[in-house]
Chains A and B, each alone.
Chain A
Amino acid sequence: MISASTLIIATVVLGAGTFAFRFAGPVLRARVELSPRVEKLMAVAAVTLLAALVGTAALLDGHEFVGFARPAGVAVGGVLAWRKAPFVLVVLAAAATAACLRLLGVP
């Protein structure tokens, strides 16, 4: 097993690196005035990232297809959100769909 000091150093390095990633945008943005077009570009980039996270998290577990229960749950949530259902209903329906499908033996 890895020693405690190694684990602490690894955790601190991961934390510091992650903080640097998070801090870069706020600090650099404060130094330059961004045009509305660049502002829009930043927002589009963030939405694109989030959408890609949704796609990969819904369909994949690591490098492989995750099975049908999870994407089915996300799809039910997506349709409800698209139909302007309340957020709470969207989230609970997504979880319930996946959970019920698994109870029925769907992977």
Chain B
Amino acid sequence: MDDTSKTKQTALHSLHIELGAKMVPFAGYDMPVQYPAGIMKEHLHTREAVGLFDVSHMGQVIISGDGTDKAIETLIPGDIQALKPGQMRYSFLTNEAGGILDDLIVTQREDDLFVVVNADCKEQDIKILTDGLAGMATVTELNDRALVALQGPKAVDILKKFNPAVADMPFMTFRELDILGVPCFITRSGYTGEDGFEISIPNEKAVEISQAFLSEDGVEPIGLGARDSLRLEAGLCLYGHDLTDKITPVSGGLLWAISKRRREEGGFPGADVILEQIANKPDVKRVGILPEGRAPAREHTEIADMDGNIVGEVTSGGFSPSLQKPIAMGYVPLALSAVGTDIQLVVRGKFKAAKVVKMPFVEQRYYRG
């Protein structure tokens, strides 16, 4: 941020300061990158117990109107018509070239859609949705709500103390339930690979509810630093890095998010490009990468074949606290994308051995019911 005076604050800002967080500008917000425990401990704690994350910087949007599910399918390749109330789906806005403009989560509620988008893309997405659905649906950003995530193998044990109904919710479902008497939007979802929940809370109750979570045994606050290392271990993409407007869902390995019906019918931006790539394979593919040795290969590290030709780039890379070794993901030509392929990484001018590996790096532990 060049102008910190314009940096926005979430409803939990004062709590972060009170907890001793190190604050950094992120997507226009002053956000906690870590608390005094540090990224390593915060990461491992989330894998063992429960982490509380403030993700209020993300955009929460309601789309309402008759036939909204059908209308939104003109903007995203997700199968929204197939969703029953209470079900949710990962999808993405695409452009005419088949590139990804943002990834998002769409939840079918009784009478409308609840959509969560990336902080950095909020304005763009709301404009695309508003313009694209003009005359068909109303798009409203929920500026009055905070969003927190409770993530980890014991998240359900904590949250069910506040409302026992959450225990039966399968992964990727939504319910509107009271927490401490406050109506909240609760989804069983997250960005860590662990079981967990995201909870949308009216701003004025966000601190009270977060403090109540933190007062439970085993719940610790977790910053954006560990959020990033957790999602990388889980093999999950970060928009703007692993996914961009130049990358198609086919290259990005996100075909699982485009149903058979949507592939047959098309009708979303860039459908011709995407369907052609499905039929004939993309030129490049996103892969997991395990560097040899301990040196992390960061974003933008060049990827070379065994002859030393530069063939691609790391899009996310760091050190895995769970595995205690570096991990990365990046794009390579299709011919080098098979699991087990030997590649090289150019780290500070030196070629270092690495291998294409299967993702996730750490097993996902979602609750399927």
- A and B assemble together: no
